[in-house]
Amino acid sequence: MSENWEPKIIAFFCNWCTYTAADLAGVSRMQYAHNVRIIRVMCSGRMDPQFVLDAFAKGADGVLLGGCHPGDCHYIEGNYKALRRSALLKTMLQDMGIEDARYRLEWISASEGDKVQHVINDMAAKVKNLGPLGLPKKFADWDKEMDDLEKKIENKGEPAHVK
């Protein structure tokens, strides 16, 4: 891991609370870690666990999900669905060897610009501490083991049916 490495964190923020809070943090000139790439979703309940896994598989080092506090969801129940999915997803991520700190669910209301700043800074520091997840590179490394078949067959002078 190089000294200058910086983690990439994908943040899914709900339109009504956390995204608005991030806006507030912006207009209030609160500075937070630059590692985060924010994607706006209409509700934290829109968050499909596939999005989290896809983010990791495509090279994210951490995924943050932000929604309205329980009871405050614009769609009444959406954040509860996010909470239930997160509970199961966390177990699955652990079982697949992805550290707890790489996935985080936070309730941040529209007025909590300072919480956006605090959560992002804290998560960026923790993920930086863990180091890169680097799944795309790992996938490529795993698949290198298939190349040796080609080399072996070439060495034997057998007809090449390997691409």
Partner 1 sequence: MSNKPKIAFYWCASCGGCEESVVDLAEGILDVVKAVDIVFWPVALDFKKKDVEAMPDGSITASLINGAVRTSEQEEMAHLLRQKSQVVIAYGSCAHTGGIPSLTNQFAKEDILKYVYEDSPTTVNPNKTRPMTEYSDNNQTVTIPEFRNVVRTLDQVVDVDYYIPGCAPTPGLLKTAVDALLSSQLPPKGTVIAPDTALCQECPRLDSKPQDLAIQEFVRPHQIKIDPALCLLAQGLACMGPATRGGCEARCINGNMPCTGCFGPTSRVIDHGAKIASALASSVEAKEEDKIEKSLEGIPDPVGTFYRYGLAKSLLRMNNQIPRDNNQIITKEQ
Binding residues (CB under 8 A) for partner 1: these are: 45, 48-50, 52-54, 56-57, 70, 80-81, 83-85, 87-89, 91-92, 95-98, 133, 135, 138-139, 141-149, 151-153, 155-156, 159, 161-163
Q: Which is nearer to partner 1, 29 or 156 (CB)?
A: 156
Tell me the C-alpha distance between 56 and 129, whole Å: 17
| Least distance between partner 1 and beta carbon 163 (Å) | 7
Query: Which CB atom, from 23 or from 132, has the smaller least distance to partner 1?
Result: 132
Cα–Cα distance, 41 to 13 (Å, whole number): 6
CA distance between the termini of the chain = 34
CA pair distance 8, 65, nearest whole angstrom: 14
CA dist 48 and 67 (Å) reads 14
> C-beta of 141: minimal distance to partner 1 in Å?
8
Smallest gap from Cβ 26 to partner 1, in A, equals: 30
